Structure 1
Amino acid sequence: MKFFSKNSLFFFICININNINAFADSNIIDIQLDNWSAEINLKSLEVMGKTEQNSLSIASPISHLLSDFKNLKKSSNTFSWDYPEKSISVEVKKENNFLVFKFTSKIPQIFEWPSTLTSTNSETNNSEELVIPDGEGLLIPTQDPFWITKIDKYDAYEYSMKEQLTLPLFANITDYNTVTYISDSSLNNTLKFNKNSDSIYIQQEHQFRQKDNLAPYIIKITVDPKQDFLAPGKHFRNLLTQKNELITLNQKAAQNKEITKLYGAFHAYLWGTGRTEESLNLLKDLGIHSLWLGYDQNINEKYKVTKKFIQTAKNYGYLVGPYDTWENIQNPKTADTQLSIFPNAWPIAAIIEEGGKRKPGFQNRGYEASSEYFVKQKPENKDLYSRLKNFKETGINSYFLDVDATGALHDDYSPIHPMNAKKDMENRIKRLNHISKQEKLVLGSETAVYWAIPSLAFAHGNFSVFNSPHWKLTRQNKIYGRWYPTERPEFFFKTIKAPEDYENTKYNPLYRIPLFQYVYHDAIITTDRWEIPITKFSNLKTKRILFEILYGIPSIWSLDFKLIKENKIELKKYSDFFQTYHHKIAELPLTSFEFLTNDKFVQQAKYKNEIIVTANFSKISYKNIPKESVEVNYLKENKKVIYTP
């Protein structure tokens, strides 16, 4: 990874169309917004911001990459100019308190802009923290030696916005302000972590592609005159609301009442004896009346989820559904799972890469399946919906479709079923909506990104952040656990101690923030990754439960009869608390979040005006809250409950 000097970076532009002042040299424009102003250097695309109290760097200059600007124009609501030698045109307009920049290109090229590298102007503030929507959300101090080291160690220099970030945004917190950058789309955008001396900064890159007909690059920028790590979440949620794109759980449940069965439920995947009615009866006898139960199974396994099992689970009030994926196709004669067998798809449905080869599937198993191939089937999606019909006939009331919501979108150069990433996204949204709206199944997927949220009731994986240490650890089979024995895979049931890096990058209260929950808590229910059950790490169990209660989300388990029996006291204690708590909180928005102590080990969340949750992650008590415990204050009932995992 190469690092760029300051003058090679990209910066942000700010403007109020109703108040534009060109200086004598016509290189500088001043723009006044509601509570801040912007100064744009047209020659370098440097943007400086000003509030009543101070000035700040919005975007760093890139003059050596732009050449001279021409055709400066101003209409009633738009300011525009061109960079002819770069074949790039710029339009800027004001929307509410945002500066909206639209870049268009006449040729395929990579355009790197903006950058948070601090200006050398002595009046500007220094960048202090970066807000990154990696999973739930990270707050990374720009001069933290720990993160500088870990970004190096795990080669975490680049984030594809479409599949590695859950929201299409980031933010830069300075000494006194918060600058939020929201992209109109996550497609073709990359966030790059660079280093300058002893600090980290972000540079966003956009790729103009012929495959997308050179679609424009649109980015919105605003300034909050205070430090606020949830500001980007607030702005993004407001934009969703304005466009009627925030579909709440309450609205979703109005279309399918089964969704309310997620309220108060923890989530569990079933293995081996977990698929027996004996296990269901034990769970029911523990007083657990809210559960989401998932399963996958092969024909050779001893214990299978039967129609009778599904009906019993439903009788107990549980949601139950299969794990499925429509992403992978394999030769029916040699496939390692039935889920990769589609009668009419092999090998014609394979995605064709630009070089003409079929795109290998996950871990080189078969091929990646083209969503456009299935769309072109007659009837549409015949193979997929036939699979779905077969599952539905077993009596399921829920469904987990892997990958479709993750943002892992593909180009396909097949002459039979060509598509770009945008078309792939549209295809996936359509089939997710078919499952949830037409088939009325309570639908979940893996680590859902923003555009998939309206189609889903739940997602597994959004809680997880900075997964590079996770992938590294899971590849160490002797430590993490193997995928056998079949009925009780070590991968899920072996309990180990998480390494120090794993704990500090993924579960350290200093760096985690509920950014995703601030946007979507009342719109979708999320959990940690499905392959990280709450029992996996002995040294993280308490901390993870505290985070989950604080963020108002359920824990995820791997269950069989033995584990249920061995953990029945804990299961009952947790479910007794969580069922009551989550039923009250599931449909409420997260309205505020703050650190109550300087060390950030005591954190507090507020849900509307109804519930205040305070988590004490420290090893000592905080006021009336014992160490490593959480207090839930039910404001309407004037009742406080302490829970210690």
Structure 2
Amino acid sequence: MKQQLFVTLLTVLSLSLTACQIPKAANKNEKAALSVSQELDKNKRYTKNDFSFDVDPETFAILITENGRQETIVQPQTPKLVTHVKKTTNEVSWTYPDEQLKIIVKKESDHLAVSLTSLSEEDLTFNWPKIDAKNYTLPIAEGKTIPNTQKDWLAYFQQNNELAMSEAFSMSFFTTNFKDFATSFVMDNPFNSDLIAQTEDHLTFEASHHFISFDKDKTLNYRIYITENDPVAIAKTYQMDRIKTGKFKTLDEKEKENPEIKKMRGAIQIYYWNSRILTEDDINWSKLPEQADAPIFQWIAELLSQYGEDGSAEYQNALAAFKNNEGYQYEKNTFLNSLNNVLLYPQFYNKTIFEQPDEEASKLIEKGIDTLSEQEHYTLNKHLLAGAIQKLTPPVDDWGQKTSTDVFKEMKSAGITNAWIGLPNWANGLMNPEMVKTAAAEGYLIGPYDSYQSIQENASIDWNTASFPNKNLYEKATVTKKNGEKVAGFLGKGRKLNPTQIFPDVEERFTSIMQNKIPFNTWFLDTDAAGEIYNDYSPDHQTTQSEDVAGRLKRIDYFNNNGLVVGSEGGNDFTSKEIVFAHGIETPVIMWSDPDMRENKESEYYVGSYAALDGGIPTKYKKVVPIKEEYKAIYTDPAYSLPLYKLVYNRSVITSHQWEWDSYKIKGQVAERRMKEYLYNTPPMFHLDKTAWEEHKQDISENAKIWTPFQKAALAQEMTDFKILTEDRLVQKTQFGDTLAVIANFSDKDYHTADLNVAANTAVIINNGKQTIVKVKE
């Protein structure tokens, strides 16, 4: 369904884009000079330190007294046998002998410190704290406020009653909201911890912690902070904790190490689909019937039969149709997909088929087929095919350029100055290096999707990220459960890789891809920041979740150290110092488990498949679908959304949507999500090929002219404030530094103040008193 979108951009004094820019010299230098100590000083005001506590060792209940107000912040558990109780003015410690656990609760200057230490040599699980409050503030994706009786959230937690914090939480804390104050439970990290929900009557939670027998660190630390009942106070207190513990790094600091990061500021996010180097426009279809019996086409059939995942039957049927002058669009797509697929095969060269290779191909053949890099193989194969079907196609250097390089040049001409361009695979770039060179020359970031999550024993060429030259990895570098079973790979295929065991293979893959100096300048690592971390019980490489993450961070740093701008899926903050951008914080994957969305192809909610017969965007990424009403509160409703992650990491990590849910994906929510992108400083994300660019270029380019200067200004500062301006929570305001703010009106009624009017379904950017209105019509 084609959407006609219009962006109306009005300014109070003029239509000048400088309204979204900060003064160049003074403000930029001033913001860059903010020190850690200054941030700590600013954030101290959010934390209450004048409180006392009382703890009952038998039930592990904790009561807080603050300014004459009392609240049980941790609910009592079933009483346990207690020994070795010690009490001082500010500290209580004891042991649970049956559970083999030592507990220390100590009042520090600005928080209550709680440590749980396993005394067991075996795996041990202990549940604490048990919490019950009127409302919860949880770092699910960007952040959520959850009333304890809201029906959609109760239904969600009935279905998802055990959340792995390392996966479901973007940050290492959870907060209870009481009448007079909020209580944040902050952990060093979320590893080996789950949040278990109970939904009878109302929503309550209990944390469950798993102590691993072979983990040298058997202590879990909580820091419990008391703050005002305000998301800003909650988030800034957590930010202070991260800074104090050395877990915070700004984009400015990252940019000093890699100046390429500057290109990420103000960039729109694009996944670009170009799986064909040989496109429909590159074939002279009228001449194909008379050449359909050429040996090259029979050789392609043989290759597909031997190496193709789906064989050659469809290809041969299409070829027969062309011989009979009955080749239509389906046959064209089948034929093109087959030709493009075999160009990836290292077995493509056959001297009996290609008897007179051109000069470029001859040089590569003389070099030695077995010595060629992946990019050189693709170059050889293109030149071989071009020589064999030269009457059907233009010169090989022209192949695919109308659908790739020409689009990037047009983007730049349309005013898109900053863009991150992600390719679905490194092969797309190696097959079309001119496209990559052009994108880099236009000042864009461009690079491949890469993954080290799964390995298959015999991976097809279509799933090259699950394949490695080292054939020992499948048995010797994969994750084993406690019961001895291997952890299955993505979609249940193959196995999960242990990141601590494959670093040499990461280096080998990267150097192989880059050896011909293709100018990739960014890299996207699937799942590394999305959780899905494991304790590996393999006898020869036992690995804790902490060590698993350390292995991921090591490879992220490897790509950083090679001058690339690195991002990952998710954005969970155990990677916040290492990554520059993340896809999935703002809109995560929506309901993997719903068959209407994932399996029932007749459902209006079916999101689409990974297939793209036309070589362009798979339907999973371009099909516009609604989401069910009961999911809106969980994923998109602004009334339950909080910019917690941005209040902590606005100056540290650039976050956007998970690629399955780009800015156009959700039917009826394009305008709402555009407004929220400005409110939360979230880069718009688009799946593009030439067709999609033609459809959306006016909207994308007009929006980019406002987005780029806006985000450059917003990233230079903290998100300093967030306010709910109406009782229905549908008018909201964010503040960046002292002079930049956004007000979004998600309601159907205009919002008025003495000096401002925000029309219904409109966002207003206010910078140094100047206003820019962003209004989107679907």
TM range (shorter): 0.7 to 0.9
Deviation at 1:551, TM superposition (A): 0.5
Question: Structure 1 residues 276 and 542 mapped into 2: Cα distance closer, same or farther (>3 Å)?
Answer: same
Q: Say if 1:297 and 1:304, in contact at 8 Å, map to a contact too.
A: no
* Residue 207 (str. 1) matches residue 210 (str. 2): yes
1:539-598 per-position Cα deviation (integer Å, ceiling 9, x unaligned): 111111111110011011100111111112111221111011111112321111010000
2:198 corresponds to which of 194, 200, 203: 194
- In 2, the alpha carbon distance for the partners of 1:586 and 1:459 equals 15
Question: Structure 1 residues 564 and 228 mapped into 2: Cα distance closer, same or farther (>3 Å)?
Answer: same
* Residue 390 (str. 1) matches residue 512 (str. 2): yes
2:443 corresponds to which of 288, 307, 317: 317
1:639 corresponds to which of 743, 748, 770: 770
Q: Say if 1:193 and 1:203, in contact at 8 Å, map to a contact too.
A: yes
Structure with the bigger percentage of helix: 2
Question: Structure 1 residues 82 and 298 mapped into 2: Cα distance closer, same or farther (>3 Å)?
Answer: closer
Deviation at 1:232, TM superposition (A): 2.9
Cα RMSD after superposing both structures = 2.1
* Residue 38 (str. 1) matches residue 160 (str. 2): no
Q: Which amino acid aligns with 1:270?
A: Y
2:760 corresponds to which of 618, 623, 627: 627
Q: Say if 2:152 and 2:633, in contact at 8 Å, map to a contact too.
A: no
- In 2, the alpha carbon distance for the partners of 1:427 and 1:559 equals 33
Question: Structure 1 residues 213 and 242 mapped into 2: Cα distance closer, same or farther (>3 Å)?
Answer: closer
Q: Say if 2:153 and 2:633, in contact at 8 Å, map to a contact too.
A: no
Question: Structure 1 residues 506 and 469 mapped into 2: Cα distance closer, same or farther (>3 Å)?
Answer: farther
- In 2, the alpha carbon distance for the partners of 1:306 and 1:335 equals 17
Matches within 5 A, 1:175-190: 175-190=179-194
Match of 1:141 in 2: 147
Question: Structure 1 residues 41 and 77 mapped into 2: Cα distance closer, same or farther (>3 Å)?
Answer: closer
Matches within 5 A, 1:362-377: 362-374=490-502
- In 2, the alpha carbon distance for the partners of 1:362 and 1:643 equals 40
Question: Structure 1 residues 85 and 151 mapped into 2: Cα distance closer, same or farther (>3 Å)?
Answer: closer
Matches within 5 A, 1:119-268: 127-152=133-158, 155-197=159-201, 199-213=202-216, 215-224=218-227, 226-268=228-270
Provide the TM-score with structure 1 as the length reference: 0.87
1:25-54 per-position Cα deviation (integer Å, ceiling 9, x unaligned): xxxxxxxx8322212223322111122252
Match of 1:21 in 2: none
Deviation at 1:253, TM superposition (A): 0.8
Match of 2:737 in 1: 608
Deviation at 1:427, TM superposition (A): 1.1
- In 2, the alpha carbon distance for the partners of 1:277 and 1:404 equals 30
Deviation at 1:484, TM superposition (A): 2.0
- In 1, the alpha carbon distance for the partners of 2:124 and 2:505 equals 38
Q: Say if 1:156 and 1:468, in contact at 8 Å, map to a contact too.
A: no
Unaligned runs of 5+ in 2: 1-47, 275-399
- In 2, the alpha carbon distance for the partners of 1:546 and 1:615 equals 6
1:326 corresponds to which of 452, 457, 460: 452
Match of 1:484 in 2: 611
Q: Which amino acid aligns with 2:259?
A: K
1:379-429 per-position Cα deviation (integer Å, ceiling 9, x unaligned): xx2221121123333110000011112222122233333322121111111
Matches within 5 A, 1:2-151: 34-64=49-79, 66-67=80-81, 69-74=82-87, 78-107=91-120, 108-117=123-132, 127-151=133-157
Question: Structure 1 residues 585 and 70 mapped into 2: Cα distance closer, same or farther (>3 Å)?
Answer: same
Match of 1:399 in 2: 523
Question: Structure 1 residues 57 and 236 mapped into 2: Cα distance closer, same or farther (>3 Å)?
Answer: same
Q: Say if 2:152 and 2:630, in contact at 8 Å, map to a contact too.
A: no
Deviation at 1:477, TM superposition (A): 4.0
Matches within 5 A, 1:430-579: 430-436=554-560, 438-464=561-587, 467-468=590-591, 472=595, 473-478=597-602, 479-486=606-613, 487-488=615-616, 489-579=618-708
SS of 1:212's partner is coil
Provide the TM-score with structure 2 as the length reference: 0.72
- In 2, the alpha carbon distance for the partners of 1:335 and 1:569 equals 37
Question: Structure 1 residues 109 and 409 mapped into 2: Cα distance closer, same or farther (>3 Å)?
Answer: same
SS of 2:488's partner is coil
Match of 2:410 in 1: 282
* Residue 421 (str. 1) matches residue 545 (str. 2): yes
SS of 1:163's partner is helix
Deviation at 1:470, TM superposition (A): 7.6
Match of 2:727 in 1: 598
SS of 1:403's partner is strand
- In 2, the alpha carbon distance for the partners of 1:534 and 1:471 equals 21
Deviation at 1:340, TM superposition (A): 1.4
Q: Which amino acid aligns with 2:271?
A: Y
Deviation at 1:78, TM superposition (A): 4.6
Question: Structure 1 residues 165 and 475 mapped into 2: Cα distance closer, same or farther (>3 Å)?
Answer: farther
1:465-487 per-position Cα deviation (integer Å, ceiling 9, x unaligned): 58436865234444321222241
Identity among equivalent positions (%) equals 25
1:321-343 per-position Cα deviation (integer Å, ceiling 9, x unaligned): 00000111123464541111110
Q: Which amino acid aligns with 2:256?
A: A
Q: Say if 1:409 and 1:425, in contact at 8 Å, map to a contact too.
A: yes
Q: Which amino acid aligns with 1:547?
A: K
Unaligned runs of 5+ in 1: 1-32, 118-126, 375-380
Deviation at 1:308, TM superposition (A): 1.3
Question: Structure 1 residues 583 and 314 mapped into 2: Cα distance closer, same or farther (>3 Å)?
Answer: same
Question: Structure 1 residues 414 and 558 mapped into 2: Cα distance closer, same or farther (>3 Å)?
Answer: same
Q: Which amino acid aligns with 2:765?
A: V
SS of 2:660's partner is coil
Q: Which amino acid aligns with 2:65?
A: K
Determine which structure has more spread, i.e. the larger CA radius of gyration.
2
Question: Structure 1 residues 206 and 441 mapped into 2: Cα distance closer, same or farther (>3 Å)?
Answer: same
SS of 1:644's partner is strand
Greater CA drift, 451-460 or 473-482 = 473-482
- In 2, the alpha carbon distance for the partners of 1:311 and 1:298 equals 14
- In 2, the alpha carbon distance for the partners of 1:498 and 1:85 equals 48
- In 1, the alpha carbon distance for the partners of 2:99 and 2:593 equals 41
Q: Which amino acid aligns with 2:169?
A: L
Deviation at 1:619, TM superposition (A): 1.5
Q: Which amino acid aligns with 1:627?
A: A
Q: Which amino acid aligns with 1:355?
A: N
SS of 1:114's partner is strand
SS of 1:414's partner is coil
Deviation at 1:262, TM superposition (A): 0.9
Greater CA drift, 474-483 or 452-461 = 474-483
Q: Which structure ranks higher in relative contact order (CA pairs < 8 Å, sequence separation ≥ 6)?
A: 2
Q: Say if 2:586 and 2:658, in contact at 8 Å, map to a contact too.
A: yes
SS of 2:177's partner is strand
Q: Say if 1:284 and 1:316, in contact at 8 Å, map to a contact too.
A: yes
Q: Which amino acid aligns with 1:104?
A: T
SS of 2:435's partner is helix
The count of aligned residue pairs is: 587
1:431-484 per-position Cα deviation (integer Å, ceiling 9, x unaligned): 111111x20100000002111110111010011258436865234444321222
- In 2, the alpha carbon distance for the partners of 1:138 and 1:609 equals 25
Q: Say if 1:178 and 1:231, in contact at 8 Å, map to a contact too.
A: no
Question: Structure 1 residues 63 and 358 mapped into 2: Cα distance closer, same or farther (>3 Å)?
Answer: closer
Deviation at 1:357, TM superposition (A): 3.2
Deviation at 1:275, TM superposition (A): 5.7
- In 1, the alpha carbon distance for the partners of 2:101 and 2:670 equals 52
